[in-house]
Structure 1
Amino acid sequence: MKITLPIRVGVVGLGQRGLQHLKVLWKLQQEGIVHIITLIDTYADNLAEDKISQHVDGFRLGQIYTSTDFFGTLKSIPLDAIYFAIPPSIHKGEIVSSAQAGIHIFAEKPMSLYLNEVVEMEQEIASNGVIATVGFQQRYDSRFEAAQRFLSDKEIVMISMIMNSTLEAHSVKHTHTEKQGGPINRIWTSNYQWSGSTVVEAGIHQVDLMRYWAGDIAWVEANYVDRDSSDIVDGGDNPYAYQVTFGFASGTIGNLILSRLRKVFYTDNYNSILWTHGHLKFEPDGVAAYHYEGAYPPDQTPSREEIRHLLPLAGQRNATEEISRAFFNAIATGDEQVLRSTFSSGMYSLVAVLGANLSHQLNGQRIYLDELLTNSEFEWFRQK
């Protein structure tokens, strides 16, 4: 069903990511695409105009309704769409209730740390016919978009993504975790119980990009190096390092290597996509495809300049803005095909990273994702 602009929208969770979305929504409201109706957060200080305006230029509450009571607001305030940007471990049925009310949903990832909970979300979204997307904004980044176009007719054999970062790189969040039994410094992204591990909290981005380029993941194997208890500060207990292998239905192999070390203050990364006859790299001056196009075999080994091809890129865009524009376009036209990640599709990026956690717990056992979702032997892992 099509909806006339402006689309009435609310935001649940005015933390770091919620504020980034609100900044975009504030811009889209000036364009007449949306009308911001309500802002909801468990903590009233996150709803103060003075605080929000530090992150959103020119922001004024005006007639925007603020509340710390989600379910009460859902019953009393008419909305067309809601953004959810809350920690994945503390959902309490908000997305399910919104779907049942026929409200379109933008859910930040990870959507949950519990498979039964996210499956219930997906089922209610589908049965109530609402449009829903997951915040995988990197699919709207011009570099990754160019890679997807280029690789669409290639046989990808391996994707490797490495990110070495630091525990200190996590920023202080806005959720009062110290009042909910969480980290006293509010850096919940470094805590396993709250974030679900670095693979789930951050690596889900890389995994979703792998799926964007190579399709469905069939299985996962993982081994983590757990953090020593003597090296845990302020609840930052996520593992030191992670090695995860993904097997795709197409036969592609994906490698994800992550680390979060303390007392290092240095980060680096490496990304490589291999297809049967070439490499694709993300380099400082663009996306470079390395492959030979001349007569084969060549008379002599081609130079780097001969085999390096920069892919054409669309103009630089704000990916967070672009995913919101796509979301509202889908709502306005009633056509979710414009979305690059529906909730039902994005759910499988979450299944893959949660499967990595399970594999590590089972000493690196290969976990098939369809079995993870359905077999009774994994019910203990799926439940909240």
Structure 2
Amino acid sequence: MIDKKNIVILFGADSSLEWGRSYQMSLALNELGHEVLHVDLPMPCIDTIFFLFSNKKKIKPFTFLPKFGLPYTLSKLLEWINKKIVGYQVLHSIKQNFKQIDVLWIYSPYQPSIAKMLIQRFDPVRVIYDCADDRVAMACQNEGVAQGKTVLQLESQLTKLCDQVFAVSENLREVKGGFHNKINVVPNGVNEKLFSTQTNTSEPLEYSNLTGKKILYVGSMECWVDMELLILCAKRLPDHSFILVGPVKDNTLQIYSLSNVYVLGQKKFKSIPNYIYYSDICIIPFTQTDSLKSSNTLKALQYISMGKPVLSTYYQGIDTYNGLVKVAKNRNDFVKKLEIMTDKVLTIDKEEVNAVVSRNSWNCRATQAMDLLFGSSD
């Protein structure tokens, strides 16, 4: 058992959304008895202005949201400005919570100079970079090669400050192998208390008039979602309902025109179990992007924990869940498997579900990470 540590999660995903790896890891570390401060990625300047004039000023316990953040940049001037504005806010927040830091747990290469300033100020016992995605590949996909190169340089600067690097998958460890000589794999986990068949659920109002089997996808509609596959499935299975829950970023107009597809948009994280529990089949229709090759998605474990049949396209790690996920080789195979699943009464092995969930909970992941940092005993 590791003694209680003061841990700063630096530049994690938006904690108000709750689903992200950094926030879920923070909750788990807190449950294990550690003191945690989760510092979100800074809110951009324009968003800050709207935020300050809105009523949405509720911040979650043990979290801090810096304001007036500038974009990822290699510009020395903008770096200096950002360090003064964002760095000061972060430093002030940490000083309000801790006299010392045991672990500086960094989630983004956003501003390595701020991490360096905090290391010099607090001299933490351990500094880690928790690499949850191939950020370079994502930047190339979303913003172009130039931005990808910028993120690559920032990531290289950051890893030089760290004692260890955590990678979310074996493939990502290989991709990042040149950055550091101590990279360990710590996969994503699942909040087994929230995503459980024992959770109190209520059927979503949107489900009341749906026909056929309810086929659910939960997650952002980003470039890694195979929209053509979704459209193909909906057309081949017109008597069943396809439900998409999550922010729509890849705005494909054709999918809105299909009468059996229901795009529900983003929902509160704590309501997601309702949508999963009352669905019949859960799907992961991903396409093979460079960033996906190194990912370890949260969705499969959430679906499994709710006792649902799952169908997915292939990505690394999806075939490690004791056969609880059916994996398609290609689009045609996906459609055929889905057709078969809609024709059957599907049952799930509860013992296998419990076994998978118990060894993949966020508390297990937090324990694994702390053991890697400090050993099984301090």
Judge same fold: TM > 0.5, yes or no. no
TM-score (norm 2): 0.39
TM-score (norm 1): 0.39
Q: Comparing both chains, which one has the higher relative contact order based on Cα–Cα distances under 8 Å and sequence gaps of 6 or more?
A: 1
